[in-house]
A and B are shown apart, each in its own frame.
Chain A
Amino acid sequence: MEKAIFNPPKSLSKREFTYCPGCHHGIVHRLIAEVIDELGIREKTVIIAPVGCSVFAYEFFELDGTVAPHGRALAVATGMKRARPDLVVFTYQGDGDLAAIGTAETIHAANRGEKLTTIFINNAVYGMTGGQMAPTTLIGQKTTTTPYGRNHEKDGYPIHISEILSTMNGVAYLERVTVDTPQNVRSAKKAIKKAFLAQIKGLGFGLVEVLSACPTNWGMNPVEAMTWLREHMAKEFPPKLFVDKVGDG
């Protein structure tokens, strides 16, 4: 008799991911789906997808969903949650979406303490448009629009969204994580669960920043990309628990 020993989460759809080899979106999608399954909230959860590589995220989850204009996911989510406070609403956003074009929406949703959850994928580069500079691109990092490396005199510095949001009273859960080892994947899942619990318990805004590899646009193979993430990205953006009003109860 055959016995299933491994199944996809119910909250993931059957659609094949469109992500590149070595990209971390797939890992994070799965973690979110497992958390939604475990919390038993699939039938009242709505995903707001961004514009960027994860623009199809609303198709990858077995959830009601929409895709917001570029940068506006947290405004769309705010409108939805205010209209239906009984729903669980989360946004899934990249660094260009959340930390460049959507900075105002991000900061004000967090500051209002919207009962929302955001998964913020920081890979230090614009993926879908083909590898341009992101607000989180490291100093010296080469991209298609910083061909000589990001120069702070000209391009400014990598923006630290989690550090900015950590000053805001409306934030109930805030952590920066990586998914580069099995142990870190487990920790990331715990963080995502708490960011959802912050919403479900009505405590305020929850955000998890995930440092994520983009081998394609970094011009590396997946192993090199993982190494670069640890040795460079994690130095600029240290994994850290910033705010936890959820606790362990």
Chain B
Amino acid sequence: MTKKIMMKGNEAIAEAAIRAGCRLYFGYPITPQSEIAEYMARRLPEVGGTFLQTESEVATVNMVYGAACTGRRVMTSTSSPGFSLMQEGISYIAGAELPCVFVNVVRGGPGLGDIQPAQGDYFQATKGGGHGDYRVIVLGPSTVQEAVDLMGLAFDLADKYRNPVLVLADGLIGQMMEPVELPEMRDLSNLPDHSSWALVGAKGRKPHKVTSFNIDPHELEKMNKRYQAKYREIEKNEKRWENYRVEDLEYLLVGYGTSGRILKSVADMARGDGIKVGVFRPITLWPYPYEALAEVAEKARFVLTVEMSSGQMVEDVKLALEGRVPVYFYGRMAGVVPTPEEIYRHFVKLLEEG
């Protein structure tokens, strides 16, 4: 058993990636996640890896594309405006079915916004931020420890499905220090074998071609059908969530990431006052755990969704419940993190309005 150490979220994310077998990092500095790049710049040379500071996020995502073509584990990290710049490349990566990992430490927006924790990138992250019919697996950590655990999962899922995976954190997860237990270093010789498609030179075999391209619409539709079949498979296998104090619930709070974590304190406060409140916290934001949410929400008199945005994930909550349970929303925007007390006050107000 490794012992717990105090680490800043961004640095823990970087170390977790290295321990998951990532030896390639390309990135452009942007607050509040630049510590990931700085950590990688220092640490990767120690383990025989490669760090490159790029000229832009546009270049970054394409370097990730090129590195992923070789089948080696590769990642980048950025924050909201930088993630917007990467969308074109992520569409190409999804179409070319390349395994790689992105981390978006979300900040306030839109536009230049600010550098405080926010959740306004949910639509962009989960609904396809770039062009075309594609999906990115999206994981939403609520603690530094969970961010560490999800980094390993992210690389495994990327390899398993040959698909980009996004860890959608926020400025709080990135900047906060918490005790974490790091996993052991993965044995690089034991990582998934991509030799059946990777671009590593056509030695003694037919050339491999990796593209998201086909000029014949019928052939391109076949490729699209293959992507969609894979997405259905991911939906079947990979949904993850956390239920908190839901056994006897009368009211349900729903939130992901940092808001999901805050909601646990809200539920504890309510239960202190004798109100039976539970929390549903989706961990995979795509595929979204609609069925699991419906199962716990259907026992509730109403559902309150809380986000650090104007209300984006709440649309998925409504999709899950299809009008069977009233769904309310409370949000703070632009980098303001709601306190448990203010959320509880809002909840009590809803109760009183009945």
Contact = CB atoms under 8 A, between A and B. Distances in A.
A binds B: yes
Contacts of A76: 62-63, 65-66, 69
A67 B211 contact: yes
B58 A104 contact: yes
B162 to A, nearest CB: 14
A80 B74 CA distance: 11
A194 to B, nearest CB: 22
Contacts of B210: 65-66
A46 B204 contact: no
A235 B68 CA distance: 42
Given A72-B89, A83-B50, A45 B63 contact: no
B317 to A, nearest CB: 35
A30 interface: no
B63 A79 contact: yes
B204 A43 contact: yes
A69 B63 contact: no
A141 B142 CA distance: 59
Interface residues of A, number: 34
A43 B202 CA distance: 5
B202 A80 contact: no
A13 to B, nearest CB: 8
A69 B92 contact: yes
B288 interface: no
A64 B50 contact: no
Contact of B203 (A43, A67, A80): A43
A42 B56 contact: no
A192 B100 CA distance: 33
Interface residues of B, number: 37
Interface stretch (A54-62, A129-137, A196-204, A212-220): A54-62
Interface in B49-89: 50, 52, 54-56, 58-60, 62-70, 72, 74, 88-89
Contacts of B203: 43-44
Given A43-B201, A76-B65, A83 B88 contact: no
B66 A78 contact: yes
A29 interface: no
Contacts of B72: 83-84
A42 B199 contact: no
A68 interface: yes
Contacts, number: 124
B137 to A, nearest CB: 21
B200 interface: yes
A82 interface: yes
A69 B61 CA distance: 10
Contact of B59 (A48, A62, A104): A104
A58 B65 contact: no
A168 interface: no
A104 B66 CA distance: 17
A69 B89 contact: yes
A65 B67 CA distance: 13
A62 B63 contact: no
B201 A75 contact: no
A139 to B, nearest CB: 30
A66 B201 contact: no
A67 B62 CA distance: 11
Contact of A108 (B59, B199, B201, B207): B59
A63 interface: yes
B123 interface: no
Given A68-B62, A72-B59, A80 B70 contact: yes
Nearest to B26: A79
Given A72-B58, A105-B55, A64 B24 contact: no
Contacts of B349: none
B324 interface: no
Given A83-B50, A83-B72, A104-B56, A59 B66 contact: no
B249 interface: no
Contacts of B213: 55, 67
Interface string B201-238: 11110011111010000000000000000000000000
B96 interface: yes
A80 B66 contact: yes
Contacts of A46: 69, 199-201
A63 B65 contact: no
Nearest to B25: A82
B211 A105 contact: no
Pick from A67, A80, A104 the residue with the most CB of B within 10 Å. A80
A87 interface: yes
B73 to A, nearest CB: 10
A63 B64 CA distance: 21
Contacts of A65: 199, 207-210
Nearest to B206: A62
Contacts of B54: 75, 108
10 contacts: A63-B202, A65-B207, A65-B210, A69-B88, A72-B59, A76-B69, A78-B66, A79-B65, A80-B69, A80-B199
Given A66-B199, A67-B213, A79-B63, 15 more contacts: A45-B201, A46-B200, A58-B209, A58-B211, A59-B209, A63-B202, A65-B210, A69-B88, A72-B59, A76-B65, A78-B52, A83-B70, A84-B72, A87-B200, A108-B59
Interface of B: 24, 26, 50, 52, 54-56, 58-60, 62-70, 72, 74, 88-89, 92, 96, 199-204, 207-211, 213
Question: 7 tightest CB-CB pairs across the interface, nearest first?
Answer: A79-B66, A79-B63, A75-B62, A80-B66, A76-B66, A44-B201, A79-B67
